[in-house]
Amino acid sequence: MNVIVCVKQIPDPALPGELDADNTLKRDGKLILDESDSYGVEMALQLVTAAGGGAVSLVSMAPNEEVSGLRTALAMGAEKAVLVSDASLAGADALTTAKVLAGAVGKAGEYDLVIAGTESSDGYTGTVPEQVAEVLGLPSVTFAKSIEVDGSNVKVERQTEAGYDEVTCSLPAVVSVTAGVVEPRYPSFKGIMAAKSKPVENVTVGDLGIEAASWAQSITNVEDAPAREAGEIIEDDGETFNKIVEFLDNLKVI
């Protein structure tokens, strides 16, 4: 069982987001593994263990040959990575990203399953996994909360608006997983040390045979959203619940 996981390295979400001069997200500092992707990495590792053999490989697209986030996933137990780093991809749209990742999947060797997060925590377009599946010509299941391999199929519990569906899908396939469905392991000290020497193959857009990167959208304006009027903020003195009652009463919801 070989699983490829698409991972994104993003600016630390704990820091306030910033825009570059061209109004795309500022991403030239240190990047970390998107927490949303740690669930996919964990799930892939569990599937390979359950299958009794195989490997987890990573594919990623990031500026400046950034590997900090990849090292985290390698330390968790992934074996190798393909990283597409190319200045021409700065500000790339989701479709271009999907074409690049699909190309990187082709470089990562034989696979049975491709796993991705539902959406990244910085750009959150939310279409890339399904686009990767279409580029690769594969079936897909999105919003998975569990994945179980059953012979040449996967059985997936897929989150829906009303509950969940049980879906059976032939392999190879692309499955996107929702956050919080498994507990991502903490890298061990041994894992962190081992990750330093695991192979990361750097490739460019040219290596993937993808034509000059361009996308049919442009940012034409950025402005501050209208601010909400400041409300009344009070320290609880044991009686503030009355304030809430009064507030609700005024709105006639009680």
Partner 1 sequence: MGIDNIWVFAQTTDGAASSGTLELLTKASSLGGTVSAFVVGAAGDAAAAMADHGAAKIYETGDLAGALPGAAVSAAMKAVIEGGDSPDLIMFPQSYEGRDVIARLSVKLDRTVLTNSTDVSVDGDSVSVETPIFGGAKIVTSTFTGEAPYLAAFRPKSFEPVGGVGAAGEVVSAPVPDLGSTGGATVTAVHVEETSGPKLDEAAVVVSGGRGLGEADKFGMVEELAKQLKGAPGASRAIVDAGWVPYSYQVGQTGKVVKPTVYIAAGISGATQHMVGMKGSKNIIAINKDKEAPIFGVADLGIVGDVHKVLPQLLEALASRS
Closest CA to 11 of 26, 25, 31, 28: 31
Residue 105 CA to residue 129 CA, distance in Å, equals 12
Provide, rounded to whole angstroms, the least separation between the CB of residue 174 and partner 1: 10
Provide, rounded to whole angstroms, the least separation between the CB of residue 200 and partner 1: 27
Residue 82 CA to residue 204 CA, distance in Å, equals 10
- In the Cβ-directed half-sphere of 113, how many Cα atoms lie within 13 Å? 33
Provide, rounded to whole angstroms, the least separation between the CB of residue 67 and partner 1: 26
Stretch that binds partner 1, among 60-68, 79-87, 190-198, 237-245 (CB under 8 A): 237-245
CA 173 to chain centre: 17
Residue 127 CA to residue 143 CA, distance in Å, equals 11
Closest CA to 127 of 174, 162, 57, 70: 174
Residue 25 or 200 with smaller CB distance to partner 1? 25
- Which residues have C-beta within 8 Å of that of residue 193, sequence separation ≥ 6? none
Provide, rounded to whole angstroms, the least separation between the CB of residue 136 and partner 1: 9
Provide, rounded to whole angstroms, the least separation between the CB of residue 194 and partner 1: 28
Q: Which of residues 177-236 bind partner 1 (CB under 8 A)?
A: 178-180, 215-225, 228, 231-236
User: Of the candidates 22, 150, 161, 211, which one interacts with partner 1 according to CB under 8 A?
Assistant: 161
Stretch that binds partner 1, among 26-34, 56-64, 107-115, 162-170 (CB under 8 A): 162-170
* Alpha-carbon dihedral sign for residues 15, 215, 88, 39: positive
Residue 29 or 180 with smaller CB distance to partner 1? 180
Residue 197 or 253 with smaller CB distance to partner 1? 253
User: Of the candidates 3, 81, 173, 195, which one interacts with partner 1 according to CB under 8 A?
Assistant: 173
CA 145 to chain centre: 15
The contact pattern for partner 1, residues 121-160, with x = CB under 8 A and - = no contact, is x--xxxxxxxx-xxx-xxxxxxx-x------------xxx
Q: Which of residues 42-101 bind partner 1 (CB under 8 A)?
A: 93-95, 98
Residue 2 or 142 with smaller CB distance to partner 1? 142
Q: Does 170 bind partner 1 (CB under 8 A)?
A: yes
Provide, rounded to whole angstroms, the least separation between the CB of residue 40 and partner 1: 14
Closest CA to 60 of 51, 52, 47, 69: 69
Name 153's bridge partners: 150, 170
Name 1's bridge partners: none
Provide, rounded to whole angstroms, the least separation between the CB of residue 4 and partner 1: 17
Q: Which of residues 12-31 bind partner 1 (CB under 8 A)?
A: 13, 16-17, 19, 23
User: Of the candidates 119, 177, 194, 202, which one interacts with partner 1 according to CB under 8 A?
Assistant: 119
Structure tokens at 184: 């991502």
Q: Which helix (H) or strand (E) element contains residue 156?
A: strand 153-159
